[in-house]
């Protein structure tokens, strides 16, 4: 998924998808499509978090030895 939106925007959409699914008032086909979209959003969020973690590790100097 090559979504250029921010993590916060992706996360907000994921929360909306989850809320719709939790309400349970969508047709089965729509629920399946929402679930798939939720999976895509979840993966995109995880990728963003992992990239941020790696960047922080790169920018953080190593701890001094004892």
Q: Looking at the chain, which runs of residues are DSSP E strands?
A: none
Residue 60 pLDDT > 60 = yes
- Average pLDDT of 56-61? 90
pTM for the predicted model, two decimal places:
0.80
10-41 pLDDT, tens digit per residue, is: 999 999 999 999 999 999 999 999 999 999 99
Residue 57 structure tokens: 């590790």
How far is the CA of 10 from the CAs of 20, 37, 46, in angstroms?
16, 11, 10
Which pLDDT score is estimated for 2? 53
């Amino acid at each position: 998924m090559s979504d250029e939106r921010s993590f916060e925007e992706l996360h907000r959409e994921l929360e909306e998808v989850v809320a719709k699914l939790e309400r349970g008032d969508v047709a089965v086909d729509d629920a399946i499509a929402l679930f798939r979209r939720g999976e895509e959003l979840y993966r995109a969020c995880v990728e963003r978090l992992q990239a941020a973690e790696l960047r922080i590790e790169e920018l953080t100097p190593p701890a001094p030895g004892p």
